[in-house]
Chains A and B, each alone.
Chain A
Amino acid sequence: MLTVRDLVKRYDGGKVQAVAGVSFEVPESQFFTLLGPSGCGKTTTLRCLAGLERPDAGEIVLARRTLYSDREAIDVRASDRGVGLVFQSYAIWPHMNVHDNVAFPLTVGPRRRRLSKREIRERVEHVLSVVKLDELAARPATDLSGGQQQRLALGRALVMQPPLLLLDEPLSNLDARLREEMRVELKRLQRELNVTAVYVTHDQVEALAMSNTIAIMAEGRIEQIGPPREIYQRPASRFVADFVGGANIIDGVVARREPNNVLRIETPIGPLRAVSTFPYVAAARVLVVVRPEHVTLSANDLGQDGGNSWRGRVLGTGYMGDTVDHIVTVGVLTLRARTAPQASAVHGTEVTVGFAPADCVLVPGDG
């Protein structure tokens, strides 16, 4: 459906590479998310798709129509691309009412393709009812609340029935509760209308909850592409492991292979065991990634845990309601552990820290 190949965008006369060769594909009616910290190039990529930014190289093909190609010297104007875009600031026109905001895209295209007044009214009414604003059609757009403006922006982007819907951090200006509500709503609409969506966010929770596929971006490049589960459970790099879910990352060197795909790894806190099917050789540098929720704490002495257990001290705790976060020092390392409240440890106490070899993910080490 949408194919992006080797997209490059430079700023300041080529000195800064905002997008440094990004490629991905989005199948029809899928929800695709570009996830990354601010300044990673995700918004620039999105703006290149919309035609608001002219790439320096690469190719963008939407439904077999080339929108941009440096080789073929094609650059379809933003106004002719027919994609819907929801802005971070919503960009609701304050001088129009709700109805006119949504009707605008239907009244500015080439004359021969324009709908009749009646058709426009019907389309707008339909879209407004889809985004649940039909009661407010005559209101000035500035009278709407944040969530309503958000839905209005969505309605305006959908009214053209675009083949592709682009969303630029649409939830970042909403408060926490509304954000959760809109997240569900947005996903429901996307599925019901069967529209292909590219979504940009820096919020991993949004990305994990909504997407079919996530691309993690850093410094203008894609670090990893995959379904949410894979991204979370099998991060491909230190950056991904750290950015998504804030994992514990322990540097180590493979010592030897043991039966049942178990590797013995030397780390700054001593040897540990991890399960991996990847054919690491001895002396290979690896990163051991352990999610905080997989780290267990107990008051007992060193237990079994396949040998992955150490004595440590609780440096700090943070009560989160359904869970408790702990900062625990183990030798030279500081680990994060997230437990149920009844399994939590007291600040300042000595505890036994452990995690199962099967919960360790190995990532090739840096350098």
Chain B
Amino acid sequence: MQHVGDATPRKRGLASLRRRLFRAETPLLAGTVVLIGYLTLLPLGYLLWQAFFDDGTFTLDFFREAYAAYGLGELAWNSLVFAFGSTVLAVTVGTALAYVVVRTDVPWRTLLFVAALVPLIVPGVLYTIAWIFLASPRTGALNKLLEPLFGPGKIDVFSMWGMILVEGLHLAPLAFLLMAAAFRSMDPALEEAAVTSGARPLTAFWRVTLPLMRPALSASILILAIRAVEAFEVPALLGLPDGTWVFTSRIWRSLGEYPPAFGQAGAYALSLLTLALIGVLAHTILSRRGRSFQTVTGKGFRPRPVRLGAWRWPALAAVLAYVAVAAVLPLLVLFYVSTQPFYSSVSLEGLSQMTLESYRQLLGDEQLLGAARNSLLLGVGCATAVMLSMAVVSWLLVRTRIRGRWLVDGLAFLPIAIPGLVLGVALLIIYLRAPVPVYGTLWILFIAYFTRFMPYGIRSSSISMAQVGRELEESAHVCGASWWSTFRRVLLPLMLPGLVAGWIYIMLVSLRELSTSILLYSPGNEVLSIVIWERYENGAFPELAALGMLMVLVTGALAAAAYRLSIKRGVRGV
């Protein structure tokens, strides 16, 4: 009885404390929820409306038109073949790389880890163009090099195979990161138990390691497949000349016509969105079931590499060969082209006329300087806005027991399933007609970037929030601090490393962004990736290459900073 007497006033004290806190935080939270709902639901709603309604009446004409012009069957087939092919390539390469680099005693492991990530810092548009320089049938450097052996134009990057190769190589580092994390978190004793049971390393790999990796593998496959389905740069640059259409390139084309066919674009966009949503849904279900495998991990262990013995050097050679093809060759050809006075294929003659003229020209280019300023503004502004607002939202998700939290979580995470082009289409439809003067300014890009990168923000801040003990916050409340000053003076500083890592990552992806920007930019509001795209269309290759080299330097530095921060926190963001 004594206990009851003790507990009741204490409980009442806590409840009133909680009630007092709520009064302060409710408007802030309500505001955030409305903002997120506006950003994610409005575009989707407009998209549906645009695709199914013509002047207020329900119609399926847009779908009919869209698929009359180009068969749904073939479009879906191309999209799937492309996504499937590049996913298989990326996951196979990424998994093999991850195993060798993380779990074996291959020489120079740290160096290889970093090298394997290099394609990740090259923006997609640049990576694709670099491969055009390398493997276009007529002027590609590789074709020139191999001509004496096999005859002209044997490698054709403008084909389904070329698309799969380039997209697969560009996605491989992502598969590598996902699988490396999975290999790292596996208790090596599981493999060692197989070896002491009499299994040779290869048997142990097939019968123990690989089956254990199955949840991680299927997750990686789905994530990559979604990325490949919504990829824009590769299909647009490599598929168009060849007439290999996929959903993304089709959307872009139907908006490039005059007058823009919004209804058709909406119809394509909805189809693509459906595909992406199916993938995300499958991933969510799988990752929920996959947890049953993780029961044995988490106990303290020192990872010990598998001894490759005689295979150490062949394994190193294989990894280096991959790095050469996926990272060194594209960067080398970009550098070469950037030093040429005018574009020509790689030749000895070219080496003698190397010049830094293109770099000098960049500095005097008004359009380019404007684009650089825009990219910087958007990157910094968007990263800051996303991280700050998502820090507040993650507090709501992690710390409170408010009903309907899952809805906020889902809404903030939903854009991960919206392909960049689809979001672009939706925003275009909204703001072309909206009475607010957003279209034709940088603000429309800001809104787009904010929406697209919200999921990254919510994830990295939720993780950092979960790492800060609840009692640190409670003790501040008990000391008399208000909700806002607790948030500002206790939580934010403690979450800072995680928030900064997320900030840098969003900065990085903002710089790379092309597929949304290409629908929403207007003259004077270009960003750097758009400038590269335009220069490619105009054939200004050396300038484009020089700009690309500078961008890679910047994104490389950002990625290195993010990586360092995430190592310190023991979390690896993707």
Contact = CB atoms under 8 A, between A and B. Distances in A.
Interface of A: 50-54, 77-85, 87-95, 104-105, 108-109, 142, 153, 156-157, 160, 173
Q: Which of B189, B201, B211, B295 has the most CB of A within 10 A?
A: B189
Interface in B177-212: 187, 189-190, 192-201, 203, 207-208, 211-212
9 contacts: A51-B196, A83-B196, A85-B193, A91-B190, A91-B192, A94-B292, A95-B212, A104-B207, A160-B197
B569 interface: no
Q: Which of B196, B208, B304 has the most CB of A within 10 A?
A: B196
A80 B198 contact: yes
Contacts of B190: 91, 93
B214 interface: yes
B196 A79 contact: yes
B340 to A, nearest CB: 47
Contacts of B208: 93
Contact of B198 (A91, A109, A173): A109
Given A89-B187, A95-B212, A104 B194 contact: yes
Interface of B: 187, 189-190, 192-201, 203, 207-208, 211-212, 214, 292-293, 295-296, 299, 301, 304, 307
Contact of A78 (B196, B211, B296): B196
A173 B299 contact: yes
A95 B190 CA distance: 11
B198 A87 contact: no
Contacts of A108: 194, 197-200, 203, 207
B212 A89 contact: no
Nearest to A105: B197
Contacts of B292: 94, 142
A91 B200 CA distance: 17
A52 B195 contact: yes
Nearest to B292: A142
Contacts of A54: 307
Contacts of A93: 190, 193-194, 208, 211-212
Contacts of A53: 304
A88 B301 CA distance: 10
A143 to B, nearest CB: 9
A332 to B, nearest CB: 40
A93 B190 CA distance: 6
Contact of A89 (B200, B203, B293, B296): B296
Contacts of A82: 198
A334 B307 CA distance: 52
Nearest to A173: B299
B196 A52 contact: yes
Contacts of B301: 89
B213 to A, nearest CB: 10
A41 B200 CA distance: 27
A157 B292 CA distance: 24
B198 A50 contact: no
Q: Which of A50, A89, A92 has the most CB of B within 10 A?
A: A89
Ranked 8 nearest A-B pairs via Cβ: A105-B197, A91-B189, A91-B193, A108-B199, A85-B196, A95-B211, A87-B189, A78-B195
